[in-house]
Structure 1
Amino acid sequence: MRRGAVLAVVSALAVGGVAVVLVLSGGLALSSSGTPAPAAGTRPPATATVKRGDLVDHQTVSGTLGYAGERTVPNGVSGTLTWLPAEGAVIGRGGTLYKVDRRPVVLMYGTTPIYRTLQYGVSDGPDVLQLERNLKALGYGDGLTVDDHFSSITADRVLEWQDDKGLEETATVTAADVVFLRGKVRVKKVGGVTGDKARSGKPVLTVTGTTQVVRVDLDVADQQLARKGAKVTVELPGGASATGKITDVGTVAQLPSSSGQQADPQNATITIEIKLTDAKKAGGLDQAPVSVSLESERRENVLSVPVEALLALREGGYGVQVVQGETVRLVPVEIGIFAAGQVEVSGGGLTEGTKVGVPRS
């Protein structure tokens, strides 16, 4: 915030009970309490020290705390749902996603969907390699060469896994047995209850990753606030705060949905995504409203004084009272940004450690 916003700032501070100097049309400087403002030679009631350091201004926006990577789980089996996980449950490699006719549908890690029956004699491929990696990770790697070839040893390891998992021992793996996803998942929504009919091709679960993120729909006009890698502070429900970092900034503007009316382009937003660096503070919150403090302006290695040290000069501009021993002088200063109750100042011979006058707190 720069000089043009000073009057708004000092007015707000005056309402809050801070003595701020305003210049009346008659040329007499008065404080917000109506008493004459301290001038050169008049010792102020208190002093503060000129500081040197970074000054950062922030803007607060609204966001939503949730989990990244939402998607539906493909279902390749028809029958009756006999077991379903609870919403919020976390399922890892080898875990059961749900059961159809008491038959587990198992999670394995990978990026290639299962599109064919994997069995002895099938042609080599990355889906075979993916299966063998999972068998080894689950403890069925004895004698197994992890490659893209489904060997007789692969078939033996599949049989062992099926026996332990309570699956029909066929030495074959199909979409009715396994779902390949990128990693551990968290159940967001269950599409049904036990006893419902499952149909091949109709998803049963909606899942997310296990990493909590904050999403902000930021006005396009404020997109300069969103810099990938920038640190932010997130105010959580209940008053706790957590730190985070912007990990993704959308490049496509989204218009708000409107009922039968043309959306106003001025209301367009971009989505930014923030990863919490201390996610434990957020607990298991999902779809919770949060406030995000974004850095709007930064000035490095500058001098600053408390905002209440500013005096409005009759000739225009601003000054501060410099206190040196028993000597008090009023010096003009140039002002920069306001942040955290401080204002950037320069000129007037100010240096770090200089004492300036302020109202008594």
Structure 2
Amino acid sequence: MTGTETYATEETEAVRTPDPGRRRRARTLLVAAGFAVVTAVAIGGALGLGGGGGETPGAPARAGTTVQVTRATLVERTKVEGELGYGAEIPLPVKATGTVTWLPEPGARIERGEELLRVDDRPVVLLHGTLPMYRELGLGTAEDVRPSGPPAPGGAGRPGGPDSGSATEDPTGTGATTGTGTVAETGATTGTGTAAGAPAEDSAAQTATVPMRGMDVLQFESNLSALGYRGFTVDERYTSGTAQAVRRWQKALGLPPTGRVRVGDVVYSSGTVRIGHAGVRPGAAAGENALTYTGTSRKVVVDASALEAAWAVRDTEVTVHLPDGRPVPGKVASVGKRATAPEGGGGDGGSGPGSGPGGAATVPVTVTIADQRAIGRLESGPVTVEYVGRERRDVLAVPVAALVALAEGGHGLETADGTFVAVKTGLFADGRVEVSGTAVREGLKVRIPQ
């Protein structure tokens, strides 16, 4: 019995007196279980898996900046590479024959009345005009300026003109006529002739000097007047007054004062020129390839893709970004009408745009810059030309960063209350995007997620 009771007592004491190590283990299990419950609740709340009764409707789904949908004009700008310079060099139409004895330096600016070069130590002078020098100018003879059609009665000269003579019929009826002719413009000759029953000799008419006429005369006299020479009327008639002014002009150039202008003495251009490269050296024979020239205004040439050159329309305004980043306004002046294949292109035998490994064919687009001073001293170099591709006026727009991808596809916007609305996107420009949709309105606040 005693042994049995003792066992019972010991068992009872063991039950009544808890083991300290067991108590610590139980406390640890309770704490771990509580932490797990709290963590699960927190995760469920973050994922929106909690009960509907505890959700706050106005709570944002994600943190981020809130912006408004606004109305704006979006402009799509495209940049292409170009080259600043003076344009393509054009050969000067030098008609002087002989040996080149002097040439100007490349890049020299030649004004009206200045020497372009010297041939046989004789100056070739630049004048302004569009009509080429095609004949020698000077006081002509009756033979030189003989009008078409039957001659006027009574002798040489233009009928009814200031150089016409006067004719008097013989009142005796013998068929003889007497005529006097005076060249009033030149005062060079005054002749009398009598014909009796036979044609009058025309030797006097051939030696008499009369005004040469033509648009080339008007062009030359306009230049002579612009250079400060007077004593003649600027018109289509090369008179003795013109010849006297030419003699003074020739003396100033160091030329023999002949009063006549040879074909090779002048070269016409539309304005002041800038000398390009020389095709010959001093000592070589002169010719039309002796010198090249350009205009004096700097411009930009863009080799635009023939497939994407719709923007290149005459007078289209563009922005030229210089190598230092400064923007300068420009304007499209001309567009080439012939596409050029890229170098090394056409490997597949094709010749149209886009053929060959080199890319699409290009057309030259020339951009002029009105404010030449804004370019500074830069004469050539690579530049960037920026033009307007597309433009959308008065459309709803948001920053591109506000767009979110929807699970069902497409794009949407997240509103300030955490809901999502589907939108249709339009033009992207300057970091903004055109949006539209039934739920999109001006002033709607949307979130840019972080």
TM-score by length of 2: 0.64
Of residues 205, 215, 226, the one that matches 1:126 is 215
Worse-superposed segment, 78-87 or 306-315: 78-87
Residue equivalent to 1:181: 269
1:239 aligns with 2:325: yes
Alignment of 1:313-328 (within 5 A): 313-323=406-416, 327=417
Q: Which string of whole-angstrom CA distances, capped at 9 and with x for unpartnered residues, describes residues 88-143 of structure 1?
A: 22222112212234432111011111121111126311111111000111111x23
Q: Which string of whole-angstrom CA distances, capped at 9 and with x for unpartnered residues, describes residues 11-34 of structure 1?
A: xxxxxxxxxxxxxxxxx9xxxxxx
Worse-superposed segment, 284-293 or 239-248: 284-293
Instruction: Find the aligned partners of 2:399 and 2:285 in 1 and give their Cα distance.
Output: 67
1:144 aligns with 2:237: no
Residue equivalent to 2:342: 256
Taking a change above 3 Å as real, the CA distance of residues 166 and 284 of structure 1, as seen in their structure-2 partners, is farther
Identity %: 43
Paired positions, count: 317
1:340 aligns with 2:359: no
> How far apart are residue 182 of structure 1 and its match?
1.4
Structure showing greater Rg? 2
Aligned CA RMSD, in angstroms, stands at 2.7
Residue equivalent to 1:16: none
Instruction: Find the aligned partners of 1:117 and 1:184 in 2 and give their Cα distance.
Output: 23
Residue equivalent to 1:115: 134
Residue equivalent to 1:7: none
Instruction: Find the aligned partners of 1:310 and 1:277 in 2 and give their Cα distance.
Output: 42
DSSP-derived class of the 1:308 partner: helix
Instruction: Find the aligned partners of 1:338 and 1:137 in 2 and give their Cα distance.
Output: 56
Alignment of 1:132-171 (within 5 A): 132-140=221-229, 142-171=230-259
DSSP-derived class of the 1:99 partner: strand
Amino acid at match of 1:246: V
Structure richer in strand, relative to its length: 1
Residue equivalent to 1:36: none
DSSP-derived class of the 1:197 partner: coil
Of residues 298, 303, 307, the one that matches 1:212 is 298
Amino acid at match of 1:338: F
Unaligned runs of 5+ in 2: 1-46, 48-57, 141-210, 355-359
Instruction: Find the aligned partners of 1:208 and 1:359 in 2 and give their Cα distance.
Output: 57
Amino acid at match of 1:151: T
Residue equivalent to 2:364: 271
The question of whether the paired residues in 2 share the 8 Å contact of 1:68 and 1:210 is answered with no
Taking a change above 3 Å as real, the CA distance of residues 316 and 210 of structure 1, as seen in their structure-2 partners, is same
> How far apart are residue 290 of structure 1 and its match?
2.1
Q: Which string of whole-angstrom CA distances, capped at 9 and with x for unpartnered residues, describes residues 158-196 of structure 1?
A: 111122233332211113321111111111223344xx2
Residue equivalent to 2:289: 203
Q: Which string of whole-angstrom CA distances, capped at 9 and with x for unpartnered residues, describes residues 187-214 of structure 1?
A: 1223344xx2242434321101223322
Instruction: Find the aligned partners of 1:88 and 1:138 in 2 and give their Cα distance.
Output: 24
Amino acid at match of 2:95: G
Residue equivalent to 2:77: 58
The question of whether the paired residues in 2 share the 8 Å contact of 1:75 and 1:175 is answered with no
Taking a change above 3 Å as real, the CA distance of residues 263 and 159 of structure 1, as seen in their structure-2 partners, is farther
Instruction: Find the aligned partners of 1:279 and 1:269 in 2 and give their Cα distance.
Output: 27
Instruction: Find the aligned partners of 2:96 and 2:399 in 1 and give their Cα distance.
Output: 68
Taking a change above 3 Å as real, the CA distance of residues 163 and 47 of structure 1, as seen in their structure-2 partners, is farther
Amino acid at match of 1:209: G
Instruction: Find the aligned partners of 2:133 and 2:94 in 1 and give their Cα distance.
Output: 11
Instruction: Find the aligned partners of 2:428 and 2:277 in 1 and give their Cα distance.
Output: 45
Worse-superposed segment, 262-271 or 235-244: 262-271
1:83 aligns with 2:102: yes
Alignment of 1:276-315 (within 5 A): 276-283=369-376, 285-286=378-379, 288-315=381-408
Q: Which string of whole-angstrom CA distances, capped at 9 and with x for unpartnered residues, describes residues 256-302 of structure 1?
A: 35599646422322222222243333345455222222322221221
Residue equivalent to 2:52: none
Worse-superposed segment, 311-320 or 149-158: 311-320
Taking a change above 3 Å as real, the CA distance of residues 297 and 226 of structure 1, as seen in their structure-2 partners, is same
Instruction: Find the aligned partners of 2:442 and 2:109 in 1 and give their Cα distance.
Output: 54
> How far apart are residue 351 of structure 1 and its match?
4.2
> How far apart are residue 218 of structure 1 and its match?
1.9
DSSP-derived class of the 1:164 partner: helix
DSSP-derived class of the 1:224 partner: coil
The question of whether the paired residues in 1 share the 8 Å contact of 2:300 and 2:366 is answered with yes
Taking a change above 3 Å as real, the CA distance of residues 322 and 348 of structure 1, as seen in their structure-2 partners, is farther
The question of whether the paired residues in 1 share the 8 Å contact of 2:138 and 2:212 is answered with no
Amino acid at match of 2:391: R
The question of whether the paired residues in 1 share the 8 Å contact of 2:75 and 2:392 is answered with yes
Worse-superposed segment, 205-214 or 149-158: 205-214
> How far apart are residue 72 of structure 1 and its match?
0.8
